[in-house]
Amino acid sequence: MAFSHELVAECLQFEQAFCTAACPFSLDIRDFIGKLQQGRFNIAYKTYQNATGFPGIVSALCPEPCQAVCPMKDAGGAISLKALEKAAIAHARSTDPDRYNVPPKEKRIAVIGAGISGLACALRLASRKYRVTVFEKSERIGGHLYELLPEEIFLTDIALQFKFEQYSLVTNTEITNLEDLSFDAIYVATGKGGRSFGLTLGAGAPFATSHPGVFAGGSLAGADSMTAIVHGLNAANAIETWLKIGSMHHSWAPVTTKLPHEVVRILPSELIHPSNGSIYSKEEAIGESKRCLKCCCDACNFHSPLMSYFRKFPKRITEEVQVTITPSSLDGAAKLATRYISACMHCGLCREVCPKDIDTGEFLLQSHRTMRRLGQMPWAFHEFYLRDMAFSMGEAGLARLPDGCETSRYLFFPGCQLGASNPEYVIQSYRFLLTHFTDTSLLLGCCGAPAEWAGEEAGHAEVIARIYNQWEDLGRPVAILACPSCAHMFRKYLPEIPVEFLYSILQEKQGWREASFSGSTASVYDPCTSRHEPLLQDTIRKLATGAGFALDPLPMEGRMAECCSYGGQVAIAHPPYAENMIAKRIGQKNTPYITYCSNCRDIFAAAGKETFHILDILFGIGNGRDNGLSVSDRQRNRLELKKRVLTEFWNEEWNRMESDKKLVIPKDLQEKLHKNHILESDLLDVVEYCERSGKKLYDPDRNSYTGHRQIGHMTFWVEYRLAGEGRVELVNGYCHRLKIEE
């Protein structure tokens, strides 16, 4: 499994943008651009000024290496950063530098050379109130800038940036021997081909020389104009380290990036040109800045339902989860992550899109198990689903060889939800399979996914062992599956069992009745657990087109398939989150969906999206609309399925023990119970308990009885009236998680 804390340490969330890595000043361009996008020109200017020292000179001279690496260069034009920098200067409220109220320092620094590198170093040190003396052999400051720019541009900028700083300038003085200088530190910036005083440059650390206290950089060290400024600015930091701790070792390196190009989502847009031919207006600058993609690695956060909803990245998640699951913090003081540990849909998309293969979902699953083991995961988040799983394998479960067979080559395992959605799906499929493979056994049960998602290790192991034993008893047949989630579980935990999909057999045997959807257009919605089942995905498309559909692909399909919200069974732990996901999924396209997971089908249809199960199309079962099934109806369907298969395929009548009481429930109450995940069978159980024990309350005003009972951990309440002949009119039903200590 691709999860380790070492791997999370490699997360690319904080990698710099390509442009920043290309920028000699390592300007945080995402930050700069973000400020411009908000129209905050003054603060954008400050950012630029702090990074470059001389914004006027840099914006005039910078050769824009950022342009060559900008992903927008082939999508309308690289972001015009230089023009934006000029706009920041032009539209800033004030271009004055900050005035720092810092006490003067006694340390004295000599800068040799009043070129741009020396001046940059002098500027930084002077702003920190060191005593700086700049020696210049000529009569003027600016060095080689005279060859590159009109002097009014650079001299104006130099004067502006030194507006509030003091330094001594000694012109017409060539330093020929460093021994003559009595200073605490020296920066040698004598320019291209300048005097190096016999120093070894770059001696073991950036800007260090072979002589303690003497630093060097700029064109002398082979830097171009921009890098010369960068050297000056950063040499000032190296000098300060020397002055403070006496070390020549200052860590500085240009920013690099490991950001992969494929994580950038490019939105083409046309480059904006300044309408006046020189400087952007404010609106133009904001418009151009908004073209910027602010490149970063946020693939997981963008795609993962959990990370996008909770706005967290893997590093933050692992930190918060670690605090939550670490026993020392399990005193209830730091359970920051409990709810979102339970909100992972385990769709695998976070790992799929991660350039580092970080499987945050796996980490959340492991953490869920840990919390469950320690008894710290609220039982309420998964108890309903675990009881439903037990129901599927218990009362509604069945494992049978076909009549007359002592073993089977094939086994149909439809999963717990297909028959819950509509028994016809299972009955017609099994009927079809038997016509081709007469020795196909039937196993009605559950693959154990609810126990897996609940972090219930022992329960999950029991389910897996049970399936394995049943499979052995049935003759170790090939399992024919209808549900991609079951396949996911089988491949993960029952690798010995060979697996095939019902749909491949339907495709191969052309086993559907005539149904023509010619002229209809639909989109195949791949269930998340089909992500690594390309053959299955292809089969479904063939079946759909074979039925006459024209297919309109969804943006998120194939390996990018998204969970419908059923995965992880998160609806109780976090109802608004689940609803949010459903709305996003059904909003991908207006076309009807065709899917092959009954949960996707029923959830989308219930949310108003026309969604067919592929079996609806092949067997003419459903119409793509909401079947209006409650959680109770879904259990009744499973019982109905068992009864019907026993009758049709084994000629047996199933006489299930049923209560002598029958609940009569108004439609609106049925819907309320469904929304609250309350089973009518549980409420009937409570009524029977009240009637049997006499523990009930009478409301004379409403002429009704009220009582309660704890089932599992949950306490259920009923209000009811006895209507004779075993009929019980249910007036109300509700439940709570608190346990009453009676």
Partner 1 sequence: MAEPKKLICVSCNRELEMKKTDFTYLGHSFFTDLPRCPGCGTVYISEELVKGRISDVEMQLEDK
Does residue number 709 form part of the binding site for partner 1 (CB under 8 A)? no
Does residue number 710 form part of the binding site for partner 1 (CB under 8 A)? no
Backbone φ and ψ for 375, nearest 5 degrees, come out as 70, 25
Does residue number 338 form part of the binding site for partner 1 (CB under 8 A)? yes
Q: Which is nearer to partner 1, 531 or 696 (CB)?
A: 696
CB atoms closer than 10 angstroms to residue 607: 17
Q: Which is nearer to partner 1, 251 or 703 (CB)?
A: 703
Q: Which is nearer to partner 1, 308 or 376 (CB)?
A: 376
Q: Which is nearer to partner 1, 283 or 579 (CB)?
A: 579
For residue 405, give both structure tokens. 């067979």
Contact stretch for partner 1 (CB under 8 A) within 109-117, 254-262, 333-341, 419-427: 333-341
From the CB of 727, what's the least distance to partner 1, in Å?
A: 19
Contact positions with partner 1 (CB under 8 A) in 365-424: 375, 378, 380-381
Q: Which residue is listed with tokens 């411009």?
A: 36
- Which of residues 91, 303, 369, 708 is near partner 1 by CB under 8 A? 708
From the CB of 336, what's the least distance to partner 1, in Å?
A: 9
User: 568 by DSSP, 3-state: which?
Assistant: coil
CA–CA distance, 216 with 199 (Å, rounded to integer): 9
Contact positions with partner 1 (CB under 8 A) in 636-695: 694-695
Does residue number 698 form part of the binding site for partner 1 (CB under 8 A)? yes
Q: Which is nearer to partner 1, 272 or 735 (CB)?
A: 735
CB atoms closer than 10 angstroms to residue 164: 13
Q: Which residue is listed with tokens 């429930």?
A: 665
From the CB of 706, what's the least distance to partner 1, in Å?
A: 7
The DSSP call for residue 209 is B
- Which of residues 335, 369, 460, 541 is near partner 1 by CB under 8 A? 335
Contact between 11 and 293 under an 8 Å Cβ cutoff? The reply is no
For residue 63, give both structure tokens. 């050769």
From the CB of 738, what's the least distance to partner 1, in Å?
A: 5
Backbone φ and ψ for 398, nearest 5 degrees, come out as -160, 140
Contact stretch for partner 1 (CB under 8 A) within 22-30, 331-339, 393-401, 499-507: 331-339
Contact positions with partner 1 (CB under 8 A) in 102-131: none
Does residue number 701 form part of the binding site for partner 1 (CB under 8 A)? yes
Please, how many CA atoms are within 13 Å of residue 470, restricted to the half-sphere of its CB?
25
Q: Which of 674, 594, 599 is nearest to 633 (CA)?
A: 674
CA distances from residue 534 to 4, 503, 504, 537 in whole angstroms, order as listed: 28, 13, 12, 5
714 beta partners? 711
CA–CA distance, 575 with 411 (Å, rounded to integer): 36
Q: Which residue is listed with tokens 């087109």?
A: 545
From the CB of 403, what's the least distance to partner 1, in Å?
A: 50
- Which of residues 277, 327, 332, 724 is near partner 1 by CB under 8 A? 332
In angstroms, how far apart are the furthest CA atoms of the chain? 116
Q: Which of 543, 443, 566, 545 is nearest to 497 (CA)?
A: 443
From the CB of 453, what's the least distance to partner 1, in Å?
A: 17
Q: Which is nearer to partner 1, 395 or 729 (CB)?
A: 729
CB atoms closer than 10 angstroms to residue 489: 24
From the CB of 690, what's the least distance to partner 1, in Å?
A: 9
Contact positions with partner 1 (CB under 8 A) in 39-58: none
CA distances from residue 403 to 35, 474, 481, 652 in whole angstroms, order as listed: 74, 12, 21, 11
522 beta partners? 551
From the CB of 376, what's the least distance to partner 1, in Å?
A: 8
- Which of residues 339, 373, 466, 661 is near partner 1 by CB under 8 A? 339
CB atoms closer than 10 angstroms to residue 598: 27
Q: Which is nearer to partner 1, 310 or 612 (CB)?
A: 310
Q: Which is nearer to partner 1, 338 or 440 (CB)?
A: 338
CA–CA distance, 332 with 133 (Å, rounded to integer): 61
What is the number of residues in the chain? 742
From the CB of 108, what's the least distance to partner 1, in Å?
A: 59
From the CB of 429, what's the least distance to partner 1, in Å?
A: 40
Q: Which of 235, 219, 148 is nearest to 185 (CA)?
A: 235
Q: Which is nearer to partner 1, 387 or 708 (CB)?
A: 708
From the CB of 495, what's the least distance to partner 1, in Å?
A: 36
From the CB of 338, what's the least distance to partner 1, in Å?
A: 6
Backbone φ and ψ for 358, nearest 5 degrees, come out as -75, 125
Look at the alpha carbons of 238, 119, 126, 95 in this order and tell me if their dihedral is positive or negative.
negative
From the CB of 736, what's the least distance to partner 1, in Å?
A: 5
CA–CA distance, 739 with 129 (Å, rounded to integer): 68
Q: Which is nearer to partner 1, 406 or 742 (CB)?
A: 742
User: 594 by DSSP, 3-state: which?
Assistant: strand
Q: Which is nearer to partner 1, 426 or 578 (CB)?
A: 578
CA distances from residue 593 to 527, 611, 615 in whole angstroms, order as listed: 11, 5, 13
From the CB of 341, what's the least distance to partner 1, in Å?
A: 11
Q: Which is nearer to partner 1, 286 or 344 (CB)?
A: 344
Contact stretch for partner 1 (CB under 8 A) within 216-224, 232-240, 335-343, 443-451: 335-343
CA–CA distance, 369 with 614 (Å, rounded to integer): 35
- Which of residues 590, 699, 723, 726 is near partner 1 by CB under 8 A? 699
Contact between 120 and 217 under an 8 Å Cβ cutoff? The reply is no
Look at the alpha carbons of 705, 706, 709, 714 in this order and tell me if their dihedral is positive or negative.
positive
From the CB of 721, what's the least distance to partner 1, in Å?
A: 13
For residue 603, give both structure tokens. 């959830």
Residues binding partner 1: number (CB under 8 A): 30
Q: Which is nearer to partner 1, 107 or 368 (CB)?
A: 368
Contact pattern for partner 1 over residues 460 through 499, marking x by CB under 8 A: ----------------------------------------
Contact stretch for partner 1 (CB under 8 A) within 3-11, 40-48, 330-338, 472-480: 330-338
Contact positions with partner 1 (CB under 8 A) in 723-742: 732, 734-742
From the CB of 722, what's the least distance to partner 1, in Å?
A: 12
Q: Which is nearer to partner 1, 4 or 676 (CB)?
A: 676
From the CB of 576, what's the least distance to partner 1, in Å?
A: 12
CA–CA distance, 721 with 690 (Å, rounded to integer): 12
Q: Which is nearer to partner 1, 266 or 374 (CB)?
A: 374
From the CB of 672, what's the least distance to partner 1, in Å?
A: 10
Look at the alpha carbons of 86, 87, 88, 92 in this order and tell me if their dihedral is positive or negative.
positive
Does residue number 705 form part of the binding site for partner 1 (CB under 8 A)? yes
CA–CA distance, 81 with 86 (Å, rounded to integer): 9
Backbone φ and ψ for 84, nearest 5 degrees, come out as -70, -35
Does residue number 303 form part of the binding site for partner 1 (CB under 8 A)? no
Q: Which is nearer to partner 1, 323 or 405 (CB)?
A: 323
Q: Which is nearer to partner 1, 625 or 739 (CB)?
A: 739
Q: Which is nearer to partner 1, 249 or 737 (CB)?
A: 737
Element at 412 (helix H, strand E): strand 410-413
Task: Name the E strands within 217-279.
Answer: none
Q: Which residues bind partner 1 (CB under 8 A)?
A: 332, 335, 338-339, 375, 378, 380-381, 694-701, 705-706, 708, 717, 732, 734-742
